[in-house]
Every structure is written in structure tokens, then in C-alpha cells.
Amino acid sequence: MTTSTNLPGHPQVPNLAEVPGSILGRESAVTKVLLRRSAAARRARYSTIKIWVGAICAGVVVIPVVLAGVLPLPDPIVGALSESSLPPFSAGHLLGTDPNGRDLLSRILHGGQTSLVIGFLAIFVSGLFGIVAGAAAGYFGGWVDTIISRLLEAQMALPLLLMLLLVVALFGPSIPVITLVIAFAQWPEPARITRALVLVEREKPYVAAARVLGLPKFSILSRHVVPNILQQVLVVVLLLLAQAVLLESALSFLGAGVQRPYPTWGGIISDGRELFVTGKPWLVTVPGLAIALLVVGVNLVGDGLRDRVRRAKGDQT
Amino acid sequence: MLKYVLKRVGQTILTAFLAVATVFVLLRMAPGDPAANYAPPNPSSEQLEAIRQQFGLDQPVPVQFWTFLQHLFQGDVGTSFFFKRPALDVVLERLPYTITLAVAAIIVTSAVAIPLGVWMARRSNTAPELGANIGTIAGQSMPDFWIGFVLLILFAVNLHWFAPSGFDSAASIILPTVTIAILQIALISRLVRREMVVNLASPYLTVARSRGVSERALTWRYAFSNAALPVVTALGTRFAAMLNGVVIVEVVFNWPGVGELVVNALKQRDFPLIQATVLVTVLLALVVQLIVDLLYPLMDPRVRLGEASS
């Protein structure tokens, strides 16, 4: 993507425009300004902007959440009743406190740890399962494809949120259960993408070459096909992290999250819902901002990366 | 064509049956005794046993399911534990509220998302489009219950423009509709943009432009009529999903729809009411999906359903 005629790292290449008598001895009509304004260069620049803005948004939330145990914060579970319902920017409580006198910043950061652990575990499980199922369906076809495709369709028709609430009620709202429930809700997306990509990939010459060389089907799939599509699938899995955080907060909000007194983002907002009417809106707005910032950040990074991966693959849009 | 419709109707019934059966079994496996919720305070074990017998919960689960199916074929979905009335009637009373909300949300979504998406496609790779693009990403990144609360804090608590919750006047529908529409606009406008970019860059458009067709006609008559099919499909799917319950938004605004109904029924372990809600909403969502699929050949003459299915 370099616009310079002197390629960096190749200083010995003579600039043809300066060679006397050369047919290129006139200014090219394609100026650097035009190149910089071209659609391709713009797209590259905008995807970089998206990735940076996204990384900053996500970092602002993720870094303090990871450091929550180290930072000098008040206890997130036990509060002092003498300090109940302080507004933001009070002494010692940057974001204020809830009616139980618990520090809101501390609760948001500790709650974020739960949300992030659940989110990462969930996309790991759903990504792994989705890629394996999608690759098998796309590569082997036949009855494998039929079963997996039918499963994907059947799940679309189910009232998903209700099912998730029921399963959490059934097995108890522990971190493994909530993680698996979210992974179950999410596996169709990576599976569908992987299947579609593998369907295209398996018709390419290198797969035929590997088959002629006598490689077993499984090795072709795992060592040649999957590595070629992994980049595109992983971007989709990264975008699922945003969905996982949102879904976890929605489950917490409906009471199917990690139980009180342990803070979760959805739980903090749910606790604040009766209180904003009485003039304590920060208990609702601030934790939601944390979720929104993180999810916007992840979505922007994922979207920017997707633009890049697509461009690298050379197809449009 | 007829064969296709029959096949799809069969699939619809099978899927709805599957959904209800799954919920039926999950409900009976879940901990918590429904009888305890409907007995007088400090009930004796005889009282609890009597209530279980009255609800039919003393039978083994397969027997309960068989009884449920027999009643279902006679058009009886069961009696709500809580309301002591036929569960179907309770659901059908609440259904118009959910449908109204879903229709309002889908109208607002289409009215905003389609022009926005077309604009983004035409201004592709410019600074204003980057802004709109980031805006749509932000729109799909906020938790819907949080958007609802922020709107309530702004417009109900501080400005007193609307009643804080429930359904008292026609204006009550505005805030829940906006809450749903923000996410849907973000998703649909990005889809419109994607489809339009492909069509605007395709050769048939260049040919039409070289014949002197105006830009407005190129955008709407040529490119958009080709981009419309996936968009209508997506709108149909979104609408169907909303009928399955805009659960969270209904809970936030105390909207008396089926989503709010089913969350309360779940808390009260009102098994027949949950089953009836699942049956009705899943069937309705599947029927909407079926109608959208049947509209395909009307919108796009290239699609022939009978051939596609055989």
C-alpha cells in the first residue's frame, strides 16, 4: 500500500521519472494526493481509525477491570451504611455509592471481571464447537451436513431467551452454567460462516493436490483448509464477545445471572431500576456506559479487522 | 407451489411441536414446586398434595405429556395456575399489545434504516459515512434494557413527557418503540448498505448510467429493487423474532405484552401459561416467516418456489 515511487528498503531502484530520455520522463497523472484520496486508501485508513478507536474504548474498560484486584478500591460487597447513596465525585467514591453504601466503581470493576470471564469462556466454547461443526458440515457434506444444518435451523425457531432462562433456573446460576448457555446461544454463527467458507475452499486446486498426494481427509481439513479460513472465522468469533457480554448482562438483568451480593453489570442496573425514579440515576446510567463502551470497542475492532481481512482476501465490499 | 406450501406448513407444525415439547420437559425438570406458589401460607403436605393432584403434577412426566397432547388435539391448551382461566385466553388477551409494539417498531425501523443504509452506500468511504458507520456500531452495542432506562430517566422522570411505565395512552408506545428501533435500525441499515454497495458497483448499473438514466432512478429503481429482497427477508425475520417476545423491553416498560407475561409466569411456575405462550408465539413467528417466503416470487420473478423445493 505504499504510495511512494522510491520503495522503502530498495533505495537502489532509480526513479524512472528522473532518468533522462525515458518514456516516463514526465509527471504521472496519478499524483500522490489522488492515491491518498482513492477509495482503497480511504478504506484502509478508515479501518485503521475504527481499530484504534475501538481498542481505546475497550481498553478504557478492560484495563481497570483486569486491575480491579490491585487498585485501591473499597470492598464491592460490604458497604458502609453511613455512606449510602452518595452522588458521583464524592470524596473517596469516584462514581458514588448505592443505597447499601457500596462503592459503585468497585462494583462495576469487580462485576466486569465476572462478565469478561464468562464472555471469553463462552466465545472459546462456541467458537471451537462452531468451527468444528461448520468445517465438518462443509467438508464432508452428506448426512453430516444434513444433521448440522437441521440443528442450526431448529435453533432459529426456538424462543431462545426463554429457553436460556429455563436452563439457568434448572441448573442454577453458576459461572459454568451461564457460560455454556451463552455458548449454546452463539455456536450457530461461527458454524454457519465456517461451513460457507469451507464449501468454497474445498473446491480449490490445493485441496485436490493434497488429495492426490494421498493425505487423509481429516488431515486435509485440519492442516490445509481450516488454517486458510481461520482468520476470517476468528474475526466473527471476536465479534461474538460483544454479543456474549450483552447476553450475560441481559440474563443478569432478568435475574438469571450470578447471584447477589456478587456484582454483575446487568445485576447492578437491575438493582438500580427502582431507584432512578427517586433521583439516583447514576446507579443505572454509569454501569450501562461501561457495558456500552466495552461492546462498542470490541465491535469496532472486529469491524475494522473484518474490513482488513476481506481486503487481504481480495474480494469487494 | 401447493406442494411447497404443504411441506412448509408441515415443517411449521413440527417445529412448534418440538419447541413446546422441549419447554414442557425443561419446566418439569426445573427445581421449585409450583404447588407451593399456589397453596395458602404454611401449607400442610396434604394441601400441597391436593394442589398437585388438581394441576395434574402428581403423574409421571410422560403421562403428563400424553394428557397434554390429548387435550391439545381437542384445542385445549390447559388452565393457567395463576389466573384460573384457560391459558390460551390469557395469552390472546396480551398478544395484541406485543403485535402493536412489533408493528410500530418494524415501521420505524424500515422508515429510518432503508434511507440511512442507501445514503451510507452512496457515500461509501467518505468521512460522514465513517461517522454514520461508527454510529450504527454504537447502536447495536448498547444493552436494550439500559437504553430503555436512559430514555425513561430523560423523558419520563426529568422532562415528564411520558408516563414512566405501563400502558395508559397511545403515547406510551413511543419509548418502547424507540428502544427496540435503535438496535434494529443499526442492524438493518448496515445490511441495506452492504447490499446496495454490491449492486451500485455491478456492471448492469454502469450500463444503465451510460444510457443516461438519472442517479435517483439508478439508486432506487435499479439498485434498490435488487437489494430489497434480502432486506425484506431480514425485516421479516426480525419481525418474527419480535413476536417471540420483546421480553426485555416489555419488562423495562411494564408493557402488558406476552414477553412480560411469560417472565412473570416463569417466576410463578405457571406451567400451562408458559406452554401456551410458547405455542402461540412460536406458531405466529413461523407463520410470519412462511408468509415472507411465499412473498418471494411476487417480489422477484427469478424465484420459483415449486422448482426450488423439488
Q: Please name the member of B26, B138, B140 whose beta carbon is closest to the beta carbon of A170.
A: B26
Reported as a single tens digit per residue, the pLDDT across A126-167 is: 999 999 999 999 999 888 888 888 888 778 767 778 888 888
What's the pLDDT score for residue B181?
93
Residues of B in contact with A257 (CB under 8 A): none
What's the pLDDT score for residue B241?
81
Which residues lie below 8 Å from residue A303, measured CB to CB, with a gap of 6+? A50, A54, A239, B133, B137
Q: What percent of chain A has pLDDT over 90?
A: 29
Q: What percent of chain B has pLDDT over 70?
A: 95
Q: A303-317, B11-25, B252-266: lowest mean pLDDT where?
A: A303-317
| Residue A39, all three cell numbers | 477509495
By the 10 Å C-beta count (0-12 exposed, 13-18 middle, 19+ buried), B116 is classed as: buried
Question: Is the confidence at residue B155, as pLDDT, over 70?
Answer: yes
Other C-beta atoms closer than 10 Å to the C-beta of A16 total 12
Q: Please name the member of A39, A162, A288 whose beta carbon is closest to the beta carbon of B262.
A: A162
Instruction: State how far the Cα of B132 lies from the Cα of A86, in Å rounded to an integer.
Output: 37
What's the pLDDT score for residue A312?
61
B23 Cβ under 8 Å from any chain A Cβ: yes
Sign of CA dihedral A260, A261, A265, A269: positive
- Tell me phi and psi for residue B262, to 5 degrees: -75, -35
Please state whether A30 falls in left (phi above 0), alpha (psi between -120 and 50) or beta.
beta
Distance in Å, alpha carbon of A33 to nearest chain B alpha carbon: 16
* Most A-contacting residue of B149, B202, B242, B266 (CB-CB within 10 A), to test interface: B149
Residues of A with CB under 8 A from a CB of B: 39, 42-43, 46, 49-50, 53, 154, 157-159, 161-163, 165-167, 169-170, 242, 246, 249-250, 253-254, 266, 269, 273, 276-277, 281, 284-285, 288, 291-292, 295-296, 299-300, 303, 316-317
Residues of A in contact with B141 (CB under 8 A): 242, 246, 292, 295-296, 299
Residues 217-246, chain B: which have Cβ within 8 Å of A?
Answer: 244-245
Instruction: State how far the Cα of B236 lies from the Cα of B228, in Å rounded to an integer.
Output: 12
* Most A-contacting residue of B17, B124, B134 (CB-CB within 10 A), to test interface: B134
What's the pLDDT score for residue A51?
92
Distance in Å, alpha carbon of A294 to nearest chain B alpha carbon: 8
Contact A42 B247 (CB under 8 A): no
Mean pLDDT of A181-203: 91
* Most A-contacting residue of B141, B150, B180, B233 (CB-CB within 10 A), to test interface: B141
Residues 29-48, chain B: which have Cβ within 8 Å of A?
Answer: 29-32
What's the pLDDT score for residue A22?
52
B248 Cβ under 8 Å from any chain A Cβ: yes
Reported as a single tens digit per residue, the pLDDT across A204-226 is: 999 999 999 999 988 999 899 99
Interface A–B counts its CB contacts (< 8 A) at 131
Which residues lie below 8 Å from residue B220, measured CB to CB, with a gap of 6+? B118
Q: Please name the member of B137, B194, B201 whose beta carbon is closest to the beta carbon of A299.
A: B137
Q: Please name the member of A53, A157, A316 whose beta carbon is closest to the beta carbon of B19.
A: A157
Residue A157 in contact with residue B285, Cβ under 8 Å? yes
Residues of B in contact with A52 (CB under 8 A): none
Helix H or strand E encompassing A65: helix A39-66
Angle at Cα B100 formed by Cα B97 and Cα B103, nearest 5°? 150
Residues of A in contact with B266 (CB under 8 A): 162, 165-166, 169
Q: Which residue has the cell 496519478?
A: A30
What's the pLDDT score for residue B177?
92
Reported as a single tens digit per residue, the pLDDT across A60-103 is: 999 988 888 777 777 777 777 777 767 777 777 777 777 777 78
What's the pLDDT score for residue A240?
92
Contact A284 B153 (CB under 8 A): yes
| Residue B8, all three cell numbers | 412448509
Contact B142 A163 (CB under 8 A): no
Residues 76-135, chain B: which have Cβ within 8 Å of A?
Answer: 124-126, 130, 133-134
Which residues lie below 8 Å from residue B265, measured CB to CB, with a gap of 6+? B80, B82, B273, B274, B277
ipTM given for this complex: 0.83
Reported as a single tens digit per residue, the pLDDT across B74-129 is: 878 888 888 888 888 889 998 898 999 999 999 999 999 999 999 999 888 888 88
Q: Please name the member of A170, A246, A285 whose beta carbon is closest to the beta carbon of B150.
A: A285
What's the pLDDT score for residue A190?
93
pLDDT band at B172 (very low <50, low <70, confident <90, very high): confident
Instruction: State how far the Cα of A280 lies from the Cα of A86, in Å rounded to an integer.
Output: 9
Q: Which residue has the cell 400424553?
A: B66
SS3 state at A187: coil
As a whole number, the mean pLDDT across chain B is 84
Residues of B in contact with A316 (CB under 8 A): 197-198, 201
Instruction: State how far the Cα of B271 lies from the Cα of B25, in Å rounded to an integer.
Output: 11
